[in-house]
Chain A
Amino acid sequence: MKIDIPAPLRVYAGNLPCVTVRAGTVSQALTTLFDQYPEFRKHLYSPEGKLRSFVNLYLNDEDVRYLPEREETEVKENDTLSIIPSIAGGSAPGCVPDSEPLN
Chain B
Amino acid sequence: MATVTEPVTLPALSSEEMARYSRHLILPEVGMEGQQKLKAAKVLCVGTGGLGSPLALYLAAAGIGTLGLVDFDVVDASNLQRQIIHSTKDIGRPKLDSAAEKLQALNPFLNVVKHETMLTSKNALEIIRPYDIVADGTDNFPTRYLVNDACVLTGKPNAYGSIFRFEGQASVFAAENGPCYRCLYPEPPPPGLVPSCAEGGVLGILPGLVGVIQATEVIKLILGKGEPLVGRLLLVNSLDMRFRELKLRKNPDCPVCGSHPTVTELIDYQQFCGIVPEQKVASMQNGIPQISVKELKQRLDQGEKVFVLDVREPWEYEVANIGGHLIPLNDLPRRVAELNPDQEIVVQCKSGGRSQRAAEFLARNGFDKVQNLTGGILAWSSEIDPAIPRY
Contacts and interface: CB of A to CB of B under 8 A. Distances in A.
B261 interface: no
A85 B193 CA distance: 11
Contact of B275 (A6, A54, A88, A97): A97
B164 A95 contact: yes
Given A8-B194, A86-B141, A97-B191, A92 B79 contact: yes
Interface in B184-199: 184-199
Contact of A96 (B50, B141, B247, B248): B141
Contacts of B199: 98
Given A61-B245, A90-B51, A91-B83, A7 B139 contact: no
Interface string B168-193: 01000000000000001111111111
Interface in A1-50: 6-9, 11, 17, 43
Contacts of B144: 86, 88
A90 B49 contact: yes
B189 A58 contact: no
A99 B47 contact: no
Contacts of A101: 192-193
B44 to A, nearest CB: 15
Nearest to B52: A91
B217 interface: no
B189 A86 contact: yes
A91 B167 contact: no
Nearest to A87: B164
Contacts of B191: 96-99
| Chain B interface size, under 10 / 10 to 19 / 20 to 34 / 35 or more | 35 or more
Contacts of A93: 78, 139, 196-198, 201-202
Given A84-B233, A84-B246, A90 B163 contact: yes
A89 interface: yes
Contact of A87 (B162, B192, B245): B162
Contact of B196 (A43, A84, A85, A98): A98
A96 B245 CA distance: 25
Interface in A51-103: 52-56, 58, 61-63, 66, 82, 84-102
Nearest to B162: A87
A52 B78 CA distance: 33
B196 A97 contact: yes
Contacts of B30: none
Contact of A7 (B167, B248, B275): B167
Interface of B: 47-52, 73, 78-79, 83, 136-141, 144, 161-167, 169, 184-202, 207, 233, 235, 240, 244-249, 275
19 contacts: A7-B164, A7-B165, A9-B194, A61-B244, A61-B245, A63-B246, A66-B249, A82-B244, A87-B169, A88-B162, A90-B137, A90-B207, A91-B51, A91-B207, A92-B49, A93-B78, A93-B198, A95-B141, A96-B195
Given A61-B247, A91-B138, A96-B189, 7 more contacts: A55-B189, A61-B245, A66-B249, A86-B162, A89-B139, A90-B136, A90-B161
Interface of A: 6-9, 11, 17, 43, 52-56, 58, 61-63, 66, 82, 84-102
